[in-house]
Amino acid sequence: MTVMREHTPSPSDPKAPGGWNGDEALHRSPARSGDALARLAEAEDMIRAIGAGEVDAFVLPDGHAGRRVFTLETADRPYRMFVENMRDGAATVSSTGLILFANRRLGELLSCARESIVGAPLTQFLAGDPSPVLHAVYGPEGHGVTVEADLLDADGRPIPVLIGSSPLAIDGRSFTCITFFDLRDQKAQEREIARLDEAQAERLTELESAKDALALQATHDGLTGLPNRALLVDRINQALAAARRSGRCTAVYFLDMDGFKDINDTQGHAAGDAALQRAAQQLVATVRPMDSVARMGGDEFAVLAVDVDSHEHAVDIGARLVDAMSAVPRGHPNGEHLGASVGLSISDRGRGTAEILIHEADTAMYKAKADGGGRAEVFDAALDLQSQHRANAKVALQCALDERRIVAHYQPIVNIATGQTTGFEVLARITENSGTLMSPKDFIPTAEESGLIVPLGAEVLTAACKELGYQRSSPTHSGPWNLAVNVSARQFESGELPAIVRRNLEEFGLDPTRLHLELTETAIMALHTGVLKQLAEIRDLGVEVGLDDFGTGYASLTHLRRLPVSFVKIDQTFVQGITTDSEDEGIVSAVIALSARLGLRSIAEGVETVEQLDRLREFGCDEAQGYLFAKPQATIDAAMGHTTAPSTSLGFRQARLTIPASFPGL
């Protein structure tokens, strides 16, 4: 057999160019010189020869100055090759911990040549304290075990491995066969799994937070943090169920901030949001802990009061809510406070549903607002009828707009001094399907409340301009008349009114001075920079602006000075009393004198008798309109054809005379 020779040349030795030779003689034990380096070199050469399959036997000292020959039978070579080519690192370790054999994979694992592994103690390649590993490797009572440990590679980097050990006895000598399974990929996978688990846990936490946020968003208002309508409805229904068992009362309050729009218009939306937050805090502080405050949207809030003792108790709560809102600062430098209109619905013994009670409270709130605001109103059946009437009027108005059944009627405006027709006020009418006309009082309030006044006003403006265009091109035209069109404050909200006016003037080729716009006195109470800018733009077009229904609102000299107005119309409620009521007479005469002092034309509305006309002439009023002259008609020609000249002691000689359309005056 082939054995290891006594003097071991290296593969580079010139005496042995072919390295190990199959004809080598039996190796004799090396001289015991104590040279550790020589033994290590010999061991390295030996393991290389064994790994190459070039040695069939080798000799090792037996510890007693003797030698022992280990024979590697040719039949064992496949097993040697199997160990050499294992995917795991493998080593044979002596009982004293010296590594006697290392396969190729172990060298790769430790990033060093096997020559530096064989002959070295196992502890040299173990990280940290080797004692627990050695104890586990050798195992109790010689039984092999499996243990995780860290090896150190040539650069001192830890390599996680799974160490498997198995005892081996040869000729009474004990050895340990050790395998090293590389755990780096597994540890990397475990770290990735841990990272994914952590990421998943974080994602689940985020999802739970998002779920909670969505749930909160679905049931609470984002600005104030109060419950929203959906949550309030649920709480009301729960309260009603409890009231059916207890027999007590449940009260629902609907609150709308008075004049809140003015805050947004004059101070901006940020100031409006801050005011709503202050209102929410005040409401929460006012109600009992068991009650609920909700924001319904915009500047509307609702309150649920449970276990109310009586109707009187419910009314008292409503009064407290009104007082609480009147104490909320508007955030304006002048120190003004908010106010609220409150509607109240009371349920006895769980009557009704949440939606019914909210609707009733909302209906009562509209009554409180219509009565001037800053008060609480209790719902009753009469209010329900009014609410239904408003709903029906809104539907009828929307249908009329959709079906283009809005028509314009014209009422003459007369110069009191000359009797000449100077123009016409354009009034909106709705033609019902039966052919009759709907009274303005049946749809104008609803139009204002619902916002339908905007498309309604635009349609009337277009109709007026179209009529002016027709009159301009008519061969029988006997103008120059002007048309006065009413404008709601809500028509200024979009900021598009000047553009709408300009478009109509250009489309029908009109002289701008013949178009007048009338603003109600209550509309200018919401006066702010945006409205003034639009009025200035309209005035720059050449269109005159006037103040309608003067005396019914809260206009002051300041408003008259700021507004670019050319005329003032005195409301008919004062005109009709100038011959019978000294206060009305004083108001009318003062308004006429004030208008003259400010250089404004004065126009009296609702003139129905010659006596009223005489008094207006005495006061120096410039113009008048009313049934004394003509009722509103479908066209200007018809209005002129129905205009009559009254007989007065100061003017016209013929009474109730029908004047043809071509007549220049009355």
- The half-sphere exposure of 331 on its side-chain side, counting CA atoms within 13 A, is 18
Measured CA to CA, the distance from residue 587 to residue 606 in angstroms comes to 15
pLDDT more than 90, % of the chain: 46
Q: What is the pLDDT of residue 521?
A: 61
d(CA 466, CA 452): 21
**Residues 12, 15, 16, CA angle at the centre, nearest 5°?**
60
- 370 versus 566: the higher-pLDDT residue is 566
Q: Quick one: pLDDT band at residue 169, thresholds 50, 70, 90?
A: confident
pLDDT at position 645 = 55
Domain 392-658 in CATH: superfamily? EAL domain (3.20.20.450)
Fold of 229-379: Alpha-Beta Plaits (3.30.70)
Cα 75 to chain centroid distance, Å, stands at 82
Confidence of residue 485 (pLDDT cuts 50, 70, 90): very high
Q: Which long-range contacts does 585-589 make (Cβ < 8 Å, 24+ apart)?
A: 585/615, 587/551, 588/615, 588/616, 588/619, 588/621, 589/619
Composition of the chain by helix, strand, coil, percent to 5:
45, 25, 35
pLDDT at 558: 61
pLDDT single digits (tens) 90-131: 999 888 889 988 999 999 999 999 888 988 999 999 999 988
**Domain map of the chain by residue range?**
36-55+64-187, 229-379, 392-658
What does the pLDDT average to over 631-646? 76
pLDDT > 70: percent of the chain = 79
Residue 77 token pair: 């070579």
Residues 393-443 have pLDDT tens digits of: 888 889 999 999 999 999 999 999 998 899 999 999 998 888 888 888 888
Name the DSSP letter for residue 452: T
- What element of type H or E holds 306? strand 300-308
Write down the mean pLDDT value for the chain.
Answer: 81
What residues have CB less than 8 Å from 227, skipping those under 6 apart?
219, 220, 221, 235, 292, 293, 294, 295
pLDDT tens for each residue of 313-331 = 999 999 999 999 998 887 7
Distance CA 613, CA 625 (A): 10
Q: How far is CA 41 from the centre of its chain?
A: 79
| Fold equal for 229-379 and 392-658 | no
User: What pLDDT sits at residue 602?
Assistant: 94
Assess whether pLDDT exceeds 80 at residue 661.
no
| pLDDT range class, residue 5, cuts 50, 70, 90 | very low
CA–CA distance, 593 with 646 (Å, rounded to integer): 25
Residue 479 phi/psi, 5-degree rounding, is -50, -150
36-55+64-187 belongs to which CATH class? alpha beta
Reported as a pLDDT band with limits 50, 70 and 90, residue 376 is very high
Output DSSP code: residue 358: H
CA distance 113 to 40: 13
Tell me the C-alpha distance between 187 and 194, whole Å: 10
CA 639-642-644 angle, to 5 degrees, is 120
**pLDDT attached to residue 49:** 56
Q: How confident is the model at residue 281 (pLDDT cuts 50, 70, 90)?
A: very high
Residue predicted with more confidence, 138 or 396: 396
Cis peptide before 480 (omega within 30 of 0): yes
- Condensed to tens digits (0 to 9), the pLDDT of residues 438-459 reads 888 888 888 888 889 999 999 9
**Strand 515-520 with 437-438, pairing:** unpaired
The interaxial angle of helices 610-619 and 582-597, nearest 10 deg, is 40
Q: Give the Cβ contact number of residue 599 at 10 Å.
A: 7
pLDDT for position 31: 39
pLDDT of residue 36: 46
